[in-house]
Amino acid sequence: MEAGLVERRADPDDRRGTLVRLTEEGKAAIDAALETHVRNEERLLEGMAADEVEALNELLRRLLASLEGKVEHDGEAGAERGAVADG
C-alpha cells in the first residue's frame, strides 16, 4: 500500500541504487510521532525527581555503552572463532 510518505528515484551516480527521501507528508508524520514520543517520555518521568532522572540517564548510558561493546566484542569473537574453525 502506497502511503506517500517517501519518494524513490534512481541514483544518478549508481544505476544499481535507489535514493529514498521523505515527502512533505512523511516529514509531517515523523514530526507528529516525535512530539507524541517526547510527551510520552515526559509523562513516564513526571513522578521522578530531577536527580533520579539524571541517575536513570547515567544508568541507561552505561547500559547502552555495554551493549555497544558487546556487539563489537561478539563480532570480533565470531571472527576469531571462524578463523580457528577454518584453520
Instruction: Give me the residues paired with residue 10 across strands.
Output: 18
Query: Is the torsion defined by CA of 19, 20, 24, 25 positive or negative?
Result: positive
Instruction: Give me the residues paired with residue 8 across strands.
Output: 20
51 pLDDT tier (thresholds 50, 70, 90) = very high
Report the C-alpha gap between 66 and 60 in whole angstroms: 10
- Domain locations in the chain as residue ranges: 1-47, 49-87
| Mean pLDDT taken over the chain | 86
Query: Is the torsion defined by CA of 20, 21, 24, 30 positive or negative?
Result: positive
Query: What's the pTM?
Result: 0.54
pLDDT tens profile 3-42: 899 999 999 999 899 999 999 999 999 999 999 999 999 9
- Which pLDDT value is given to residue 46? 96
Q: Is pLDDT larger for residue 58 or for residue 80?
A: 58
